[in-house]
Chain A
Amino acid sequence: MRIKNHPILEDLKNRKKVYITVDGRKVEAYEGEPIAAAMCAAGIRVHRTTPRHNEPRGIFCNRGRCTDCIMKVDGKPNIRTCVTLVKNGMKVESIRGMGDWSE
């Protein structure tokens, strides 16, 4: 959910709307925000699953340290979605384990 009418912070203005796809689903995003923020706004919380037990993982540290939120972005696996900014048409896919380089 996007926050509107914050009592302290001004609304973010002049942000350009773009679209990315997350596992094939079209997701609205704003230029300048990380992939994880767009996913969170769309209510998508599972970013990947673990290699052995296939357990779900999502955002944990939100500053590029823990790597819990890594996904495959435009064919490249293990991208930290909390610090990687969206680009229009970006293809984001959840991964199991370390992911792979195949399209």
Chain B
Amino acid sequence: MKSKVSNKSNAGIITLGEFKKIPGYPEEDDFSKGPIAVIECDQDIPCNPCEEICKYGAIKVGKPITNLPVLDAEKCRGCLKCITICPGLCIFVVYRDYTDKTSLIYIPYEFSPLPEKNTYVDVLNRRGEKICKGSIRKVIKLAGSNKTFVIGMEIPKKFYNTARHFEF
């Protein structure tokens, strides 16, 4: 929807400056370990299923349950479970160094049809803008995921902090 009405609000957008304040967002060095959860949750919503589902104890909410989830990068194995349980669909798993040139971004997906493996897709950022091309590498239905699929998309490495959805 193109409009003359200006949109300065950044509604629903997490800006680069805000990343650093979110305790669920890994430090830059943490991305070198392998796949790691990126919890883009920055409001005090009463909610804690991510803490409960993580069997490695890598996500801490504690009490009150309005605390923001805190990621313990040392403990996170990138197992993807938290992606599917989050009611806000705001957890991603980012494997920055998937190959020399590419990253693998795991996202929650609740649309139909599902993409097939190796589909060439338009990769979208948090604003829904096309930023690059990517390839679907994983289409995963985890046990207990209750209809939320996990899609792994391979993208050029420089977009690992911005690629969050795709279109095909």
Contact = CB atoms under 8 A, between A and B. Distances in A.
Direct contact of A and B (CB under 8 A): yes
Interface of A: 5-8
Interface stretch (B30-38, B66-74, B110-118): B110-118
Interface residues of B, number: 5
A5 B147 contact: no
A6 B113 CA distance: 9
Contacts of A8: 110, 147
Q: Is the interface of A mostly helix, strand, loop or mixed?
A: loop
A8 B84 CA distance: 13
Nearest to A8: B147
9 contacts: A5-B112, A5-B113, A6-B112, A7-B110, A7-B111, A7-B112, A7-B147, A8-B110, A8-B147
Contacts of A6: 112
Given A5-B112, A6-B112, A7-B110, 4 more contacts: A5-B113, A7-B112, A8-B110, A8-B147
A10 to B, nearest CB: 10
Nearest to B147: A8
A42 B157 CA distance: 48
Interface in B110-146: 110-113
Nearest to A5: B112
A6 B114 CA distance: 11
Interface string B10-44: 00000000000000000000000000000000000
Nearest to A6: B112
Contacts of A7: 110-112, 147
Contacts of B112: 5-7
A8 B89 CA distance: 14
